[in-house]
Structure 1
Amino acid sequence: MTLPLRPDLAGLTPYGAPQLDVVARLNVNENPYAPPAVVVDAIATAVRQAASGLNRYPDRDALELRGDLASYLAVESQADFLAAENIWAANGSNEVMLHLHQAFGGPGRKVLSFAPTYSMYPEYARDTLTDYETLPRRADFTLDVDAAVKAIEELEPVMVIVASPNNPTGTALPLSETERLCAAVAKVPGGSLLVIDEAYAEFRRHGVPSALSLLPDHPELVVSRTMSKAFAMAGGRLGYLAAALEVVDALQIVRLPYHLSAITQASARAALAHHRDLQAQVDEIRAERDETVAWLREQGYTVADTDANFALFGPFEDREKVFQGMLERGVLIRVTGPEGWLRVSIGTPQEMALFRSALVEVVA
């Protein structure tokens, strides 16, 4: 059958990581701890209540949910200046990013990011016919802000996207450097946005601030978050961003009608009401991450400094061989990042013990 497929999509395969039934699934940066019973019960009750009204469309603007998200950010990052109108929510941070590209990207427009970084960024650009430009990070995966500012001046992108902590490296961007990028973006003729993707922000080390604190003074700044990671709600599919009212209003133009189901809104609100219960293991995950990084370095590997719930380590002469050897021992990690590197998500202590023993066996 001949399909009238867009020529730029011909021969491409869908994005995705392996979903395999193994003892230790450490490849997609999930929270390894299931929601506690009190949260499961709260979500079930909320969903049951929502189900009684499924004959009606959900709240199109999800204002109650957006208000709850603003309240959560006021606690988590002292961002008490945010209101529901400053929040936009969608089906995972993937859809949030797609909305940004739909509203501000398009033919003849450029988006700038910094490699290595999240592999979906070029796909958002591709799907919206937006030009995608990258600038390499330094050898330690930090951002060369001088080079970034120069690239912004030359390329005049409509958006600059920086993941902080960065995926797959875990590298966080200091506030001083974020402010420099804001200043450069603010000078772009015709307007531009700096999007800080904080999907892993709750895992950052103590003392590492969120870019949310800069929002009152920088209308060009957008901060994206998700409930998939620290909230242990990857299956709930709820992402969101905080930004100036004008940005949120623009995103409502491109969103599909009723894009957030009543079930999604109900389950997310129930989870937010129990965010302390859901995030009880965040400190444990941080500690396990730091122990894993220290152990990998003791074994002679180079490990990127990480403020996320994963670690990028290497280099290996044949990372595919190491990946396969780990998989044969029941440990699924991720082939990603620069050639020769691998990434491991932080699991339970038992899963990480299995990871360590499997890695020692594979490389022996």
Structure 2
Amino acid sequence: MTATAKAARIALMPGDGIGVEVMDQAVRVLERLRERDGLRLHWDVLAWPSTAWHQEHGQMMPDDALTQACDYDALLLGALGDPGPLVDHKRYRLPDGVSLAPLLTFRKGLDLWACERPARLLPGAPRYLADPRAEQVDMLVIRENSEGEYVNQGGRLQQGTPHEVATQLEIFTRRGTERLIRHAFVRARERLQIHGSARSFFCAEKGTAAAQVCLITKRNAQPAWGELYTEVFAEVAREFPDIGVTHQLVDAACMKFVQCPWEFDVVVASNLHGDILTDLAAVLSGGLGLAPSCNINPDSREMPALFEPTHGSAPDIAGQGKANPAAMLLTTAMMLEWLGFGPSAERLRQAVAQDLLTSNTQARRCSEVTDGIIAQLD
């Protein structure tokens, strides 16, 4: 998914909580890479979206936020959601539906229909499964980002009464389904070209294959969209005879993510199912402190892509220097690759991996982890 390298403009949006701290570390690394590798990078730090912006302006970001975002090639977001500062001895508290709304606004308004979240267990990262095969975890979960369960269609009637009715609709289109599934197969083929046939996945439909796409649905209980996904998956799979296929119900997939995660390669799922599975996959790769993600439109670069670590704002440790910046720095590497700076992106990934292997990350402060990673870069 690498573009041709050119001068790039980035909007840095620290957001809330530990987002501010990990963004500071991303700036340090970007400055070092720009100096070391001669990257043609320019960035602006934006005060929005954030709880602080809402406190001052009554909204998470300006009315023309999407227009302003389109001036950039990529958006790097720290985190959103925060109890907020004390105001008259009370917290300036926002509901999640308000504080996290900018994520949906960017994803839908910029047509960033694919969310990619890799889960790879790096040497030195915490391993929560005793089975030694857990060291082989290296999967890519691709989540549909534009429709499905998160379209926010529905409402509440007679709210607050004993007769209240709440409806939440799910919307799935063939166009959205097909582009998502095709992208999953393209990414599986790319991973096969990069990694070769060293890894082998068992696929019931095609025997053993060196690359695999696993479809996730709940078609036994939600047959309308489940069968749509299944039919389109079968159609697209015929275009990729070199890629193995398998299909898991989401509840079974949750079990197998823990039981045998090394059997997964590329996983493609709906908005809700992908959201849940990627948090589980993050634990398998060492925890949320090591989990990067991106929101992209693989078909077009007319709009900026959005990059964000999987972790939240962690307000309980915000401002204490306890946050692990590795997830943000791995996310920064994904952004650099998207912008066309592939060698610098790989150098940063390797520096994070080497620092994990040689240092006790849990015993160091946020800035000290970055010190170690910059030392590896140098």
TM-score, length-scaled by structure 1: 0.28
* Structure with the higher fraction of residues in strand conformation: 2
TM-score, length-scaled by structure 2: 0.28
